[in-house]
Chains A and B, each alone.
Chain A
């Protein structure tokens, strides 16, 4: 469904975030992206829906090149690709319901969205999404009154409103404690398994990668260092990805990968 070819991103300050990255993603994959901070994970995810404008290369979505697409076409692609974020990126002062409904903006006409008078069917759709995330009683609450885990579930509900074929998850659990991290990832796993939604998820902890992903893309300095199933990341690969000092970190925070 997604084919990335020779993707390169150079920021105006000269930083090369992605350097000739190529890979393909098939439907129903749960793809984890790992790498150190600054290795290009966020930039890669943001290039796919062009929140970040690629410098060169090709991103094909069902055969259509997203790079260079005009904004009308781009919006039609974007609405098929949900996105969740490390900082949840909810509008804090708005209600949970409004936040979830905003996931529908790619579908409804401005006559509905700008006055903010949403039809019943959209509200029901939002209620279903919230129900699925176990947040039935929170619809009227202000988003910033929710806990971190609840906010991230609102973020997923917002993405669900898009009826997405793909969800881009940018460090979705990095701001949450381990228990909540599993809860959020289980939700993504469920969507992947039951709805067949493809997941591209950047993660820091290898144990989470092993537990949830069926494929790993490892980035270092904007290049793909590894692309394969999680079990193939052995000790040497690990050091290659995270650097020599990383061993201590892994011993403390990460279950040793099966070798």
Chain B
């Protein structure tokens, strides 16, 4: 039977072609090209399955069809000798993956230009980072206004530290107009007008949607008409709008003192950057301490002397590979839950990831050391730990140092992002500012981060060059 088949096969291209036309790959099975046959069958089935499952474009059915037809052609010709090159089916499959990939990615180039004005709303403030501002001093004064009026309203005037404010009435309802005037303010320095409710919530007074700013004249007096805003709303006790409560009209005036200083957000950026750098430094140092012994235990050339050693090697390798594959951001989410928000959680997360990453790099360094000196130290009768200490350590110190510096560099970058999940550092502020749409502060953070990364990148690469 088998000899009959062997005799007939080389002369039956038609039979092979018919087989492949019925079931993709059957013709290839027929001539004993099993890998190729399975490949065609799987490729046709998988590509057809993919198109029908993701099926936005039935047009892609052309790909399994091409492979099927190519398989028929392949089966009908390859019985004569050399197999056909795989170029056509490979191109067809790649074209399908890229095409469907494009659809899955939902690429819509038009949106890039359609909403370009939104970008300027963000980029505008960002190019004016809220980092330093002119040095200023502040003074403020308020007068109590009762909202709404009771039988016995307050006087509507108040003097404090020489600053005096007079309102046209001591009470009113939301929406009422008040004429307010002040005296003894700093002449020529603009002042912002605020409203503060009875529990201390403040908001800018607005006129036509713009913040009201007044500028006292040369005598330090000003006068302005304001509308009492509706501060109380919503539910609960405060929702009782008929209850007369004391609220405040508030004037805050600033004047330059000359020179520059960090703004409030600027100080936050500085603090955040410092926290980020410290966090990365501590995490790198701690991970270094843990990674060095692990690096030696995960080095095959040191561990392959005994079976126990190989067992340790495989266990350590496996654990390291597993831990290394988890993003620090994910580890941080766990630690934030365990130890609470803050830099400690971020530090732990980065440390855990770094231990695995560094130990892997260290083990590769150890595996690439020259075997000669190790052999020489062994020959003196040294123990394992002495062989490591005298034969291996001097050889690996430069590369260890270089990799550690590189890791520190990486850790600073990832500790910036770790703040997004509450892991401390500049990222915490950055995340808040993005949510609050405070793009000037975001800009300040970006500038600070960029500076730190550039300086660090440069410094660490220079250091590494000098060591190796």
Residues of A in contact with B (beta carbons under 8 Å apart): 49, 51, 74-79, 81-83, 85, 87-94, 98, 102-107, 110, 113-114, 116, 155, 158, 161-162, 168
Contacts and interface: CB of A to CB of B under 8 A. Distances in A.
Contact of A83 (B379, B382, B390, B394): B379
Contact of B385 (A107, A110, A158): A110
The 4 closest A-B pairs by CB, nearest first: A106-B381, A79-B381, A105-B382, A89-B372
Contacts, number: 88
A87 B391 CA distance: 15
A22 to B, nearest CB: 23
Nearest to B369: A91
Main secondary structure of the interface of B (DSSP, over half): helix
Nearest to B373: A91
A102 B390 contact: yes
B382 A51 contact: no
Contacts of B372: 85, 87-89
A77 B375 CA distance: 15
Contacts of B391: 91, 102
A89 B373 contact: yes
A105 B380 CA distance: 6
29 contacts: A51-B375, A75-B381, A75-B383, A76-B381, A78-B380, A82-B380, A85-B372, A88-B372, A89-B370, A89-B372, A89-B375, A89-B376, A90-B373, A91-B394, A92-B394, A93-B394, A94-B390, A98-B390, A98-B394, A102-B377, A105-B380, A105-B382, A105-B386, A106-B380, A106-B382, A113-B390, A114-B386, A116-B389, A155-B376
Contact of A93 (B375, B379, B389, B398): B398
Interface of B: 370, 372-373, 375-383, 385-386, 389-391, 394-395, 397-398
B389 to A, nearest CB: 6
A75 B397 CA distance: 27
B62 to A, nearest CB: 51
A107 B373 CA distance: 19
Contacts of B377: 91, 102, 105
B376 A114 contact: no
A33 B62 CA distance: 72
Contacts of B390: 91, 94, 98, 102, 105, 113
Contacts of B386: 105, 110, 113-114
Contacts of A114: 385-386, 389
Contacts of B383: 75, 105, 110
With most chain A CB atoms within 10 A of its CB, the pick from B376, B378, B398 is B376
Contacts of A94: 390, 394
Contact of B380 (A79, A87, A90, A92): A79
B376 to A, nearest CB: 4
A226 B77 CA distance: 63
